[in-house]
Structure 1
Amino acid sequence: MAGIKHGAPQVPTPLRVMIYFESTSGWFNTTGDEKTNEVLPALNEVIATWKENGSELLGTFDRDILTAGAAGSAGYHACLLYNIPDLQTVADMTHSFRATGLDKYFRLEAVIGRPFFLLEN
């Protein structure tokens, strides 16, 4: 069976980026008051800045229907799918967790891909 012939994948503009999101032990070891009064407002503030950097949220995916606790072998609790203007913006988004101290509570990992050519043109 011969494969489909095509050239090398082209890097899209904007970038298609999946951000894996995981709660860390810092989140699980934090009191309810600290989560409500400090951590979640900081998280919401950072996410709000992402709306202003030219990124477009395409969708989200949360695995919590059939999981609880640590992320396990999948390494993430949720995924955020974005179109992001450029690589520097991706780096700025992940760095925003370091700059605000949210990396104590959450881990982010960005994966760059492209729309799946068999389903999206």
Structure 2
Amino acid sequence: MAGIKHGAPEVPTPLRVMIYFESTSGWFNTTGEEKTNDILPALNEIIASWKENGSELLGTIDRDILTAGPSGSAGYHACFLYNIPDLQTIADMTHAFRATGLDKYFRLEAVLGRPFFLLEN
């Protein structure tokens, strides 16, 4: 069977980005009080700031229905799908975790792609 011939994929504007989110051992080794009083408020503040940077949240997936504990081979606990205006904004979003120390508790990985042509036109 011959493949479909087409040119190089076009980089979309805005960028389509999947952000993988994983809790690390730092999160699992932290007390409930520290999580409630310090970590979760800082996490909520960062995620709220993403609403102000021109990014559009399209959807989320939390894998906790059929999983518990460390993320295992999948490497993430949740996914956030965004339209994001530019590459610098993605870098700023991930850097916010480093700048606040949240990278001790959570790992982020951004994957750049585009809408799948057979499902989104």
Q: TM class by shorter-chain length?
A: over 0.9
Does 1:116 find its partner at 2:116?
Answer: yes
Following the alignment from structure 2 to structure 1, what is the Cα–Cα distance between the partners of residues 103 and 65?
24
Name the SS of the counterpart of 1:64 in structure 2.
Answer: helix
Instruction: State the partner residue of 2:98.
Output: 98
Aligned counterparts, 1:53-72, within 5 A: 53-72=53-72
Structure 1 segment 39-78 matched on structure 2, within 5 A: 39-78=39-78
1:68-95 per-residue CA deviation (whole Å, 9 max, x = no partner) reads: 0000000000000000000000000000
Partner of residue 27, structure 1: 27
Length-normalised TM-score, structure 1? 0.99
Q: TM-score, normalised by structure 2?
A: 0.99
CA distance in 2 between partners of 1:99 and 1:48 (Å): 16
Indicate the percent of aligned positions where both proteins have the same amino acid.
89
RMSD: 0.5
Number of residues paired by the alignment? 121
Q: Deviations over 1:91-116 (max 9, x none)?
A: 00000000011001000000000000
Hey, which bits of structure 1, 4+ residues long, moved more than 3 A? Answer: none
Counterpart AA for 1:118: L
Measure the CA separation in 2 of the matches of 1:6 and 1:59: 29
Extract unaligned runs of 5+ from structure 2: none
